[in-house]
Structure 1
C-alpha cells in the first residue's frame, strides 16, 4: 500500500517534526480509542461468537479507508485535512461544511471518551460519579496542556503511550489464552446470522479516526513518504489488536462475554489475577488519553486552517502553519469540551447520545472526504480504487445513522449561514 501512495509525489521535507513512529502512535491513539475497552463485550452480546466476523469485516473495510486518507494527506499536506481536500474538489462551501462537522464533533467526542475512562477508574477505586467527573476533567486538562506545547511534544508523548498500550493489550490477551476454550465458539450465531449486521454497526465507532491525522500531515518531516508508511503500520497493528482482544474475549469469557462491562479487566483477572481492575483502569486511561490527544491535536489545527481560509472567524487562524501551535483554536476546543462535560454531568444523561452524535458527524466527513478523493487522486491508480470502495462503504454507513444525522445537518446549515453573513470572498475550487 505504501509504494502506491507515495510514488505519485517524491518525498519532500517540511518544517514538521513528526516521523513514521510518532505518526503511527497518533494513528493508534485516534483509531483504537475507547472501543477496545467495552465494545468486544457489547458486540458479543448482540451476535455472540459471530461478532468476530463483524470485527474481521470492519478491519478489512478500514484498509482502503485508511489508504484513501493517507493518499490525500501525502499529496496535499495541510492543516485543513479533509476540509482542504473537499475545498480543492468541490469549493469553499462544501469545505466549510465538512470542517464544521469535524471541528464541532470533537467537543462532543472528547468528554465522552473521558467519561468512559472515568467509569473504569471509579470501578477500580470507588467514589462513583465524583470519581468519574474528576477523572474526566483531569483528562481534558492534561490533553489540553500537552497540545499547548506543540505537536512535537504531544507526538513524543503519544509514542510512549502507544508502546505501553500495545504491551498492556498484548499482556491481557497472552496471559488469558491458557483459559481459552474452543467450546465457547458454540453456538457460533446464537442470535442468528443477521445479528452480525447490528454488531458491525455498533463497532463502527471503534474504527473512526483514519481521517484525524490528515490535519497533521504538514507536521510530518516528509508527508509524501512518512504519512502513508505510518498509516500502513497502524492498519496492521490496529487490526491485529482488535481481533486479538475480541477473540480472547469470546474464547476466554464464553457466554459471560456479553454481560461484562469491563472485558479487558476480566481478561486480566483470568490471566494474572491480583489488581486486575486497577490495571484495566490504567489501560482505560492510556487508551482515552491517546484518543483525545490525537483528536484534539487534529481539531486544533483544523480550526486554525478554517480561520485562515474563512470558514471560521479569522482570529482563530494563528497556528495553522507547519510546526506552529494553534493555541487559540485549541482553547476553543478545550472550552467547548469542558462545557459539554459539565452539561452531561449536570443532566446525568450519560455518554451514549454524544457518541452517536459524533458518529453521525464523522460518517458525513468520510462521505465527503472519499468523494473528494475520487476527484483529486490519479485515475486508474490503486489509491483511486481504494477511494471508490471507501465511498460505497461509507454511503452504506450513512444510511444507518438515522435521526443522528440531524446534528451534522444542523451544523451544515450553520456553516452555510456563516458564509452567507461573512462578506469576505472565499474563492473557487482549485
Structure 2
C-alpha cells in the first residue's frame, strides 16, 4: 500500500519570521562587529549601512521564489524548474552536505562562548555542542509547529539581550571614539564589507521549509521582509555599540560584544554573555537542521537520494530518515573534532563554497523564473552579482563542492548506465 504521509503546513507568520531571523542572525553578530571595526575603524559603520540595505534584495530573492514555488526542495527545486533536474539535484546536495559541517561548527562556536566565559575545558564545550545539536534535531523531529514555537522563544531572548547590550553601551559611547573616522583608509571599508557579507547569508535555508508554510505568499514575502529589517537593525546597532565604546580594543576584536554585555552585569556578565552565544547558535542550528532534513526528503522523493532519507514519522509526519542521516553526520564531525584530528578553523572553511554556490544557483533561477516581475528579476540580478563577487574569496574551500560534483557525476553516470542495461527499473 502506498504511503500517504506528507509534510504538514504548520508554519505561520510568527514562526516564519523567527526561522528567518534564526537562520541569518548567527554567531557572526558576536564576532564580526569587532573584526570589522578593527579592520576599518569607525568607517566600518558605512560598510554595515551598505550591507543592511543590500540585505533586502538578498532576502526577497529567496522569499519571492518560496512564495511562488513552495517546496521542501527549496533552492534545489527552484534550480530544477529553471535549469533541469540534474542541476537542481546537484545544488540540493551542495546545501545538504554543507549543514552536516556547518551546524556542528555553529554548536562548537556557541558552546565556546559559554566555556570561555565560565572557564570550562574542551570536554564541556563538546558536551554543550552535542546538546545544542540534539535540541535542533529533536525540535525538527517533533515538527515545525514545535520548532517554530521554540525558535520564537529563542529569537525573543536573542533580541532582548542585543537590545540590552546596546542600551548598556550608551553611557560609554563617546564622540572621540569616532575619530579618526577612517584610520586605515577607505579601501578598508570595502574589505570590511566583504567579511560582513557572511553575516547576511541564511535566507536560502528557510526556502526549504516553504512547503510547510500555512500561507506561502504571506509568510515568504512579508515574513522575510520583516525579518530582514529586524536583522539589519540589530546588526547595525551592535556595530554602533562596538565602535562607540571601542570595545573591540578593550575586549578583543573577536569578543567585543561579549565585553559590552558583561561590563554592566559584574559577576553575572560572563554567564549571560555565554548564554547569549548558546541561544544565537541554537537558533541557527534549528533553522538549518530543519532545512537540511527537508532538502534530503525532497531529494529522496525525486529519486536523487537513498529512499530511506525520504521516510516520514507516522506520528509527527516529519522526515525522520533525513534527521537520522544528520544525526550520524553530526556525531562523526564532533568525534573528529574531539579526537583532535580536525580543528574548528579547518571545519569552518569547508561549507563556505557550497553555501555560496547554493545561493548563486537560487539567484540565477530567480532571474529566469521571476521574468513576469521586473522587481523580481532586478532583485535576483542584484543578489546574483553580489554572491558571484564573494565566491572567489572562498579560496581552497572550492575543493569541497568540486568533490561533491565529481561524486554526483559518477553516481549519475553509473545509474544511467544501469538503466540503459535494464538493471534499474525505469
Confirm or deny that 1:241 pairs with 2:262. no
Q: CA deviation at 1:260?
A: 4.1
SS of the aligned residue for 2:393 comes to coil
Q: CA deviation at 1:298?
A: 0.5
1:292 maps to 285
Taking the aligned partners of 1:319 and 1:167, their CA distance within structure 2 comes to: 36
1:147 maps to 140
Taking the aligned partners of 1:114 and 1:204, their CA distance within structure 2 comes to: 21
Q: CA deviation at 1:119?
A: 1.3
SS of the aligned residue for 1:261 comes to helix
For residue 317 of structure 1, the aligned residue among 310, 323, 336 is: 310
Contiguous gaps of at least 5 residues in structure 2: 1-6, 420-426
Taking the aligned partners of 1:353 and 1:243, their CA distance within structure 2 comes to: 29
TM-score normalized with structure 2 length: 0.92
**Greater Cα offset, 113-122 or 74-83:** 113-122
Q: CA deviation at 1:354?
A: 2.3
**Greater Cα offset, 151-160 or 338-347:** 338-347
Confirm or deny that 1:327 pairs with 2:320. yes
Write out aligned runs for 1:26-37 (5 A): 26-37=19-30
- Could you report, residue by residue, the CA deviation over 1:65-92 in whole angstroms, capped at 9, with x for unpaired residues? 1101000000000000000000011111
For the 8 Å contact 1:185–1:254, the answer to whether it is kept is: no
1:428 maps to none
TM-score normalized with structure 1 length: 0.91
2:159 maps to 166
Q: CA deviation at 1:419?
A: 2.0
Contiguous gaps of at least 5 residues in structure 1: 1-13, 426-430
Taking the aligned partners of 1:408 and 1:53, their CA distance within structure 2 comes to: 33
Taking the aligned partners of 1:375 and 1:264, their CA distance within structure 2 comes to: 41
1:370 maps to 363
1:206 maps to 199
Taking the aligned partners of 1:47 and 1:338, their CA distance within structure 2 comes to: 39
2:398 maps to 405
Aligned residues: 411
Q: CA deviation at 1:381?
A: 2.5
For residue 222 of structure 1, the aligned residue among 215, 230, 236 is: 215
SS of the aligned residue for 1:157 comes to helix
For the 8 Å contact 2:35–2:248, the answer to whether it is kept is: no
Q: CA deviation at 1:410?
A: 1.5
- Could you report, residue by residue, the CA deviation over 1:128-177 in whole angstroms, capped at 9, with x for unpaired residues? 21221111111112211111111111111001111111111101111221
Taking the aligned partners of 1:178 and 1:338, their CA distance within structure 2 comes to: 45
For the 8 Å contact 1:82–1:211, the answer to whether it is kept is: yes
